[in-house]
Structure 1
């Protein structure tokens, strides 16, 4: 019984679970604020993520978009369909491989992001103002380190 209690007390002192809970709650709080800002511009976070990727990185194969913004391929088709109907994104078949279709942002989509992005950036600055500049840099470093380690664990499986 003493061994079990000692093991329990030792685990209770381990900050791993608390880190996970705090990280999850912080992510949710920040994400909710960002989502609210994006919804204020008539988009949802997935639509915005696809448009932002195409805006900053140019034309992308539909299959690669899912990998880059962590979305299932079926969902990508749905999102690109919606954005294409709104005139923000266009599809282009690959000239070399019929299985590949590319998506790119249209002039209308670029204009929308040109209009949205400065205010969105300001809102992100407001949301993250709870940390000073050096704390932001430290948080970036630590979270990147944690993410790389967790990603490496996944690759080992």
Structure 2
């Protein structure tokens, strides 16, 4: 095979792998009444409060979508909005006690589920995968 054919094959494999991983995540978080975007926001907030304006950039969704997702998570009582005392223009998304309890329960299970995806790779294989995919991703961004 020539280089161009292998490059096209690589793109197909990367996209199919991404879809398969997303499906595992979708099914996993659906068990808790969440969609992947809601879970991504909860996961980010589990690490610490975030200005709503910055959440979208960190989990790669639009600011309009973030408002909708935060609204849904507020309705489910997992997240609340909290003003920034130093800057009234900034609103933080904060986990509620219910949200923290949910993440305390489901996050360890999620880590195990993600680990199952990588069962066939050792640490070196995982690090090599990260390095190569970053290289491809950065190159694609520069085009």
TM-score in terms of structure 1 length: 0.82
Matches within 5 A, 1:26-41: 26-41=17-32
| From 49, 62, 69, the counterpart of 2:40 | 49
Aligned-residue offset at 1:98:
3.4
**Structure 2 match to 1:65:** 55
**Structure 1 match to 2:72:** 82
Distance 2:86 2:140 in 1: 36
- How many residue pairs are counted as aligned between the two chains? 142
For structure 2, the residue ranges without an aligned partner over 5 or more in a row are none
Aligned-residue offset at 1:143:
1.2
**Structure 2 match to 1:103:** 93
Of the two, which has the highest radius of gyration? 1
SS at match of 2:94: strand
**Structure 2 match to 1:5:** none
Distance 2:113 2:41 in 1: 19
**Structure 2 match to 1:143:** 133
Does residue 130 in structure 1 map to residue 120 in structure 2?
yes
**Structure 2 match to 1:3:** none
SS at match of 2:89: coil
Distance 1:30 1:128 in 2: 10
**Structure 2 match to 1:19:** 10
| From 69, 91, 115, the counterpart of 2:81 | 91
4+ residue runs over 4 A deviation: none
Coordinate RMSD, CA, aligned:
1.8
Return the structure number with greater strand share. Answer: 2
Aligned-residue offset at 1:148:
2.9
For structure 1, the residue ranges without an aligned partner over 5 or more in a row are 1-8
